[in-house]
Structure 1
Amino acid sequence: MELQIKEYNEFQYVDEGAGPVLLLLHGLFGALSNWEDVVTYFRPKYRVIIPLLPIYDMPLTQAGVPGLVKYVEDFVKTIGLNEPFTLLGNSLGGHVGLEYTLRNPSQVCRLVLTGSSGLFEDGMGGSFPKRGNYAFVQERVAYTFYDPSVATKELVDEVFNVTNSNAKCLRIISIARSAQRHNLGKELGGIQVPTLLVWGLNDTITPPLVAHDFHALIRGSELRFLDRCGHAPMMERPHEFNILLGQFLRRTEAESTAAN
């Protein structure tokens, strides 16, 4: 399925289906396509929205976690999401989602994190992207997954083209350093909504110990691991990821209805 990108004001985004809103946030080297299987699976019963985060072209002075949170706040307001929604984030998107939830607690009714930064992240295998070195980029993209074949040539080419731009690289480095500075360990106790953590058991970027730390710091959170899976479970193990997400949504929706 090819996702259809909509444009409104300065925002580009995917908006599929109808029903309760699932707002999805991609990571630093991520793209809208990272969530294709989630969109396909959930759009019959949910409205699935994915903003394209302006990682590569936002003003350099704003290129960081706070700037991206502000972008999501502006996006939510602009497209008129007035009812609380479920927020999902992978990697940097999880970090932005956590900050957004802490700043806008009445706007988020559920939180789903997968391979999230915010406590620890070994970004790009511990080094920043090397401009013009295709083999290096290929190796680092493969490092994201348990199965290196998931790092298709199309995906590697996309990342290579990004890292071959000085302007884009400057923003990547600025955002990556901002994410490292914005450690949320002391703030995660403020997350009050039902939270699901879905982690790859073979994640080398935010290893399983990071998932356990999130689980300990976010009260009442649920932690699920997927074996033979790296940093992007919704891409590498989409069927299992969607099953876990669907179970979480149904259970928490039923609990919310019963409480009311």
Structure 2
Amino acid sequence: MQTVRGITYHMYGEGPEAVLCHPSLGLGQFLFHRIRPALSREYTVVLWDPRGVGDNGHFYPTLEDWVGDTIDILRDINKPAHLLGVSLGTWVMSRVAAVNPGQLVRSLTLIGATRGFSHGEQEIAARRQQLEHMTMREFAQNYADNTLTVYALPEVKENLVLEMGEVDKEKYLQAMQAIYTVRNEEVYRQIAVPTLVMVGVEDTRTPPAEADEVQKLIKGSEVKALPRCGHLAVLDQPQRVIHECRYFWTNGHMADD
């Protein structure tokens, strides 16, 4: 366990290249628990709970701080790194890759990326109203039921509910505010590292058509649609995600189906 900027992070493995993983809204390093063991045999896998969640739940979340934390962790580990972001993590990691501090960023992998939300303020208001009438645990159960596919293991869904159910409602909403009102087009146009955009075929939150639009904005990027996956492919089909990531990081382009 390491600390930078007061943020606790964890390192697994001793590979010469690192993989930095930033999770989705309302989730922490748990999101990557099914891919960490395999990847840490080859890479130094770096995980942390973003501000507002878990180990770092006492911090209030902002997009600027999430990006700053990632850059400082990247500098602290001082290894060339592959950035992996899921959902909210795609906002963060794309901004880190666009800055490319110290030329330490080797590649960028985005899972569940979007250009942004057209009616973000309305969605935030609707979510706030929803949370006024249920506990965070009840909301987490609803989220898991509507986000994971039938291919996710039952215990994975149970643990997701436990993890998200512990998040403070106001910090969850603040985290939502930080991304639902921000567009990503200009950031994507600035990215100059090899980029793979992955999307679950069954993703209804950031569907394959949206991934295609993201890919058009990132010069030289590729898009890979993953069958039998929804928005959280790392939980639905972790072995497929591991395969695609390892191939891309090793070869600089996506694997052929």
Q: Classify the TM-score, shorter chain.
A: 0.7 to 0.9
1:70 to 63, 68, 71: 68
How far 1:89 moved relative to its partner? Answer: 0.5
How far 1:152 moved relative to its partner? Answer: 2.5
- Moved beyond 6 Å, runs of 4+: 121-124
Question: Are 1:89 and 1:113, in contact at CA under 8 Å, matched by a contact in 2?
Answer: yes
Question: Are 1:86 and 1:111, in contact at CA under 8 Å, matched by a contact in 2?
Answer: yes
Q: In the alignment, which residue of structure 1 is the partner of 2:13?
A: 17
Task: State the one-letter code of the partner of 1:153.
Answer: E
Q: In the alignment, which residue of structure 1 is the partner of 2:116?
A: 119
Task: State the one-letter code of the partner of 2:108.
Answer: L
Counterpart mapping for 1:100-139 below 5 A: 100-104=96-100, 106-120=103-117, 127-128=127-128, 130=131, 131-132=134-135, 134-139=137-142
User: In terms of mean alpha carbon deviation, does 51-60 or 24-33 score higher?
Assistant: 51-60
1:26 to 4, 19, 23: 23
Task: State the one-letter code of the partner of 2:30.
Answer: S
Cα 1:169–1:120 shift into 2, 3 Å: same
Cα 1:185–1:225 shift into 2, 3 Å: same
> In the TM superposition, what whole-angstrom CA distance separates every residue of 1:9-33 from its partner, at most 9, and x where no partner exists?
5232221112211111111122212
Task: State the one-letter code of the partner of 2:222.
Answer: E
Question: Are 1:14 and 1:32, in contact at CA under 8 Å, matched by a contact in 2?
Answer: no
Question: Are 1:198 and 1:224, in contact at CA under 8 Å, matched by a contact in 2?
Answer: yes
Q: In the alignment, which residue of structure 2 is the partner of 1:144?
A: 147
Question: Are 1:64 and 1:178, in contact at CA under 8 Å, matched by a contact in 2?
Answer: yes
How far 1:107 moved relative to its partner? Answer: 2.8
Counterpart mapping for 1:1-260 below 5 A: 6-8=1-3, 10-19=6-15, 20-56=17-53, 57=57, 59-60=59-60, 63-77=61-75, 80-104=76-100, 106-120=103-117, 127-128=127-128, 130=131, 131-132=134-135, 134-147=137-150, 150=154, 152-162=157-167, 168-252=168-252
User: In terms of mean alpha carbon deviation, does 8-17 or 130-139 score higher?
Assistant: 130-139
Q: In the alignment, which residue of structure 2 is the partner of 1:257?
A: none
SS at match of 1:186: helix
Q: Distance in 2 between matches of 1:211 and 1:12?
A: 31
Q: Distance in 2 between matches of 1:33 and 1:226?
A: 21
Cα 1:133–1:159 shift into 2, 3 Å: closer
Cα 1:244–1:154 shift into 2, 3 Å: closer
In the alignment of these two chains, the number of paired residues is 238
Q: Distance in 1 between matches of 2:104 and 2:148?
A: 32
Question: Are 2:144 and 2:157, in contact at CA under 8 Å, matched by a contact in 1?
Answer: no
SS at match of 1:172: helix
Q: Distance in 2 between matches of 1:133 and 1:38?
A: 26
Task: State the one-letter code of the partner of 2:145.
Answer: A
**RMSD of Structure 2 on Structure 1 (CA):** 2.5
Stretches of structure 1 lacking an aligned partner (at least 5 in a row): 1-5, 163-167, 254-260
Question: Are 1:189 and 1:219, in contact at CA under 8 Å, matched by a contact in 2?
Answer: yes
Task: State the one-letter code of the partner of 1:204.
Answer: T
Q: TM-score, with normalisation over the residues of structure 1?
A: 0.82
Q: Distance in 2 between matches of 1:36 and 1:157?
A: 14
SS at match of 2:163: helix
SS at match of 2:14: coil
Q: TM-score, with normalisation over the residues of structure 2?
A: 0.82
Question: Are 1:146 and 1:230, in contact at CA under 8 Å, matched by a contact in 2?
Answer: yes
Stretches of structure 2 lacking an aligned partner (at least 5 in a row): none
Question: Are 1:120 and 1:210, in contact at CA under 8 Å, matched by a contact in 2?
Answer: no
Task: State the one-letter code of the partner of 2:3.
Answer: Y
